Structure 1
Amino acid sequence: MCGQCGCDAHQAAPLPHRRLELHQPLLSRNDRQAAHNRDHFRRHGLRTVNLLSAPGSGKTALLEQLARHWPRPPIGVIVGDLATDNDAQRLQLAGARAVQILTGDLCHLDAALVDQAFGQLDCIGMDLLVIENVGNLVCPAAFDLGEQRRIAMLSVTEGEDKPLKYPALFKSADAVVINKRDLAEAVGFDRRTAIANLSAIAPQATLFELSARTGEGLNALIRWLDGKAA
């Protein structure tokens, strides 16, 4: 895919030990930058969350709801997309302070990109910063951005087996959000199977079921962010 995180390493380096040699220097640099970011966010008094999901799961819609209902607005959002600043514009209209990162052909955000974007963000009066990662269930899971909490999100339209197919993302999550619960019956979503899969793959994660469209279930997530993400 992007040629930087190692997701296409099999094309240039078919041997497993050679792939490790390509990965390690990049992730070491990223981890050092992430530690710097984490200290920087803490000095600014920010709760910082990395939000990851597939495209179309409803990340931006959820953040619009958070921007409108967070008890101490405004919230800050760093948005990662391959192209367009549509999501940043939507979030600004909802009341968030949003900065857009355009990644081009890069399939994930890294800590250096987040640091650059944070420098453009007015964080005075903010206590919540959300990093809306590029829509991708593979590469973003490997990159620490300096967040305090990580949320994995899936929608009922994606199927119950997403945690089984992409375990690394869900195993790294502090919380899992199942979105579009208002559509569950219409799409035949098997809630029991989905929760069983999540329990098997990510027993450490707090589970939230909500609808970003209607706001149903949002308050529980807000309480968790307000109380546990500090």
Structure 2
Amino acid sequence: MKLTVLLVDDEPLVRAGLRAILEAQADIEVVGEAGDGAAVMALVRSIRPDVVLMDVRMPLMDGIEATRALLRAAQDPPKIIVVTTFENDEYVYGALRAGADGFLLKRARPAEIVHAVRLVAEGESLLFPAAVRALAVEHANPAARTALARAALTEREAEVLRLMARGLSNAEIAGDLVVGGETVKTHVSAVLAKLGARDRTQAVIAAYESGFVSPR
């Protein structure tokens, strides 16, 4: 079964380029396109893509509002990767906080785009560059520190969260901690549950905003 992707960008040339890159892969199929975030909900309901590549800045509804609306209303929502020109864009951070699963620059190489789609679809890794980590630290707040303290993570769960914040996949975390993959999955699930996080991105944002980890 192919991995299905919906492209959302107000520039037709960008959508055409992404389509060409992704459809060159035997395991990926682009099943729809939209030129604005306002069209995303109806398309997702009709074609049910696995992954949405979502431009951040669009004229009618930007990627932040589209992400919020999609995650609020859709049952079993797709994975969302926000796509933009500038990695230190506040819009990117807003989209990640709204629930997007990953981040991708428009200037990324074709292999990086394909890799990103596959990883986010699997829920295995986190696309969280240093510039966005720094933005998370700028948004530090006492409430985040309190929430993480109340989560009462075990020592091993805290280790796993630190490695997640570095962008390591489950397999990489398993190698670093010298444990099995299923053990890592169990710890990741426990971290998400204790933090009340939808996914790895939300957990990592909480880790940075609380000061639990540093961007350096």
Q: Would the TM-score normalized by the shorter structure come out above 0.5? A: no
Name the structure where strand makes up a greater proportion of residues: 1
Smaller-chain TM-score bracket? 0.3 to 0.5
Give the TM-score normalised by structure 1: 0.39
